[in-house]
Amino acid sequence: MDNNQRLLQTTTDTGSLRPAELEVVYAISRMVAETIDIEESLDRIIRLARTVLIFDNVVLYLQSEHSSDPKDTLEPTFARAVGRGRSSVEEMVWGEKAAFEVYESGRIFIKEADSINDDEDRLSQHFYLGLPMLVSGEIIGALIFIRFGGPNFDKDQINLAEFIAAHVSQLLSHKQLVERIANLEAERRLVKLQDDFIAAVSHELNTPLGFIKGYTTTLLRDDTKWDDKTRNEFLQIIDEESDRLSELIGNLLDSSRLQSGNLHMDIQEQDIRSFLGSVVNRLRSHYEKLDITVKAPNPEERLKADTKRLNQVLDNLINNAAKYAPQSKPRIQFKANKKRLRISIEDEGPGISDEHLDSIFKRFYRVPENSTGVRGSGLGLFICEQIVQEHDGKIYAESKLGEGTTFHVEIPLLPLKTPKEETES
């Protein structure tokens, strides 16, 4: 039977292998069974194969996951030059035609050099051996061995190459299985996140809606008359819960837009004194009990900021301090150096244990021991982190149980302009 027309054989009789070849095949088998790193394993397989099978280049072609053009079906995913011509890798041939021949036919492909002449440059004499890569009975690519200047691949060498190709196929099968399991696990986590999201949103929406519906229904009852004081109390609760519902919906929308990158940020370059003046004046008018400290910055310092969104961050952190440490007087400090503006909000509340500090910025996460009797959606800190990251900054917390928590927001400052740059601008 002509070698070009042989059907793919993934298993052959090991009795045809020499002792040294058997040793290499068994070593490759163990490696495939124990592998974790596919790239490293391919490297080791090729190094082992080279000790018993002579070749100059080897290339693994696999199906492209992105191309719909049949001409671009295959792409080289692994290639090594291990023999003649290693110093001129860029000019080498890598067996693309042989790979397509194997892929389209599903058969072993052997091609001798078009001409064999002792006076001819050996690097121009190409001998190919191509073997199909099979996973779950389907061809997914080709493994191509290339020799420069001969000799031809004989029957025993082809037999050995089939063993090597079968083990590479097994390695690829293992890789696909690992990826499939990882994808299934990712899908499972996504479903759980979606379920948790729906449950959390439903709970948070139902709470204010329950108050609004309950008090509205009570006020509309025909069999009861309410005095003005009671009616106003009920209306006050309805008003507060409506505000809370509006805030929650706004947070949900902001959260979704931030994750998808669709939240509009009006980040403008401004000098730090103007920025701090605007922010501090607003804080003083909104929070009478807030202790504010500003370390005088260099008036030449500048930053890029969306003042409205950063005010949103500060509001959230200050309101958190008021909710979780109602007996404490929150403190906020603004301090700038040459590289960053640091804003620190400190309270003397119950504190947060270390096990929760890394999770408090996750969406819907709430510290269990601090949540009793305190209403919240678990969205505020998540939104804060997303906004700060949009400013190329960072936000983090330091805390001691029983002593309080300090949140730090750091926003990078722009490099100071040189006198020459100032003149040119």
User: What pLDDT was estimated at residue 265?
Assistant: 86
Residue 223 pLDDT greater than 90, yes or no: no
pLDDT tier at 410, thresholds 50, 70, 90: very high
Q: Write down the residue that tokens 């837009």 correspond to.
A: 257
Contact between 378 and 364 (Cβ < 8 Å): yes
Correct CATH for 188-260 of 2.40.170.20, 2.60.40.1180, 1.10.287.130, 1.10.12.10 = 1.10.287.130
Distance CA 174, CA 180 (A): 10
pLDDT value at 2 more than 60:
no
- Strand pairing category for 394-400 and 138-148: unpaired
- Cα distances (Å, whole numbers) of residue 163 to 10, 130, 170: 7, 13, 11
Asked whether residue 40 carries a pLDDT value surpassing 60, the answer given is yes
Q: For 268-421, CATH number?
A: 3.30.565.10
Could you report the per-residue pLDDT of 102-144, keeping only the tens digit for each?
Answer: 999 999 999 887 666 655 566 777 889 999 998 888 899 999 9
| pLDDT-derived band at 413, boundaries 50, 70, 90 | very high
411 CB neighbour count, 10 Å cutoff: 22
Q: What's the confidence (pLDDT) of residue 367?
A: 78
DSSP bridge pairs for 366: none
- pLDDT tens-place string over residues 68-110: 554 568 888 888 888 765 555 444 557 888 999 999 999 999 9
Distance of CA 375 to the CA centre of its chain: 32
What is the pLDDT at residue 241?
A: 87
Q: In the structure, what pLDDT confidence band is assigned to residue 5 with cuts at 50, 70 and 90? A: very low
CA distance 104 to 281: 73
pLDDT in tens, 273-330: 889 999 999 999 888 888 999 987 788 889 999 999 999 999 989 988 888 888 888 8
* Cα–Cα dist 211/196, whole Å: 23
pLDDT tens digits, one per residue of 13-26: 555 667 777 777 76
Residue-averaged pLDDT of the chain: 81
Separation of alpha carbons 266 and 210, rounded Å: 36
CA separation for the pair 151, 147 (Å, rounded): 8
Q: pLDDT value at position 69?
A: 56
Q: What is the pLDDT of residue 419?
A: 52
> Looking at the predicted structure, is the pLDDT value of residue 37 above 50?
yes
Residue 389 scores a pLDDT above 90: yes
Grade residue 371 by pLDDT with cuts at 50, 70 and 90: low
CA–CA distance, 130 with 59 (Å, rounded to integer): 9
Q: Looking at this protein, which amino acid is placed at residue 400?
A: K
Specify the higher pLDDT residue, 36 or 9.
Answer: 36
Its CATH class, for the domain covering 3-184, is: alpha beta
More confident residue, 348 or 121: 348
pLDDT digits (tens, 9 = 90+) for 192-207: 867 776 776 777 778 7
Cα angle: 249, vertex 364, 284; to 5 degrees: 65
Banded pLDDT at 10 (limits 50, 70, 90): very low
Residue 46 to residues 273, 319, 330, Cα–Cα distance (Å): 64, 62, 65
Q: Is the pLDDT of residue 270 over 70?
A: yes
The 3-class SS string of the chain reads CCHHHCECCCCCCHHHCCHHHHHHHHHHHHHHHHCCCHHHHHHHHHHHHHCCCCCCEEEEEEECCCCCCHHHCEEEEEEEECCCCHHHHHHCCCCHHHHHHHHHHCECEEECCCCCCCCCCHHHCEEEEEEEEEECCEEEEEEEEEEECCCCCCHHHHHHHHHHHHHHHHHHHHHHHHHHHHHHHHHHHHHHHHHHHHHHHHHHHHHHHHHHHHHHHHHCCCCCCCCHHHHHHHHHHHHHHHHHHHHHHHHHHHHHHHHHCCCCCCCEEEEHHHHHHHHHHHHHHHCCCCEEEECCCCCCCEEEECHHHHHHHHHHHHHHHHHHCCCCCCEEEEEECCCEEEEEEECCCCCCCHHHHCCCCCCCCCCHHHHCCCCCCCCHHHHHHHHHHHCCCEEEEEEECCCEEEEEEEEEECCCCCHHHHHHC
pLDDT in tens, 133-179: 988 888 999 999 998 887 888 888 898 899 889 888 888 888 888 88
Q: What pLDDT shows up at residue 91?
A: 46
Asked if pLDDT for residue 250 goes beyond 90, the answer is no
Residue 6's pLDDT is: 35
What are the residue boundaries of the structural domains of the chain, listed by start?
3-184, 188-260, 268-421
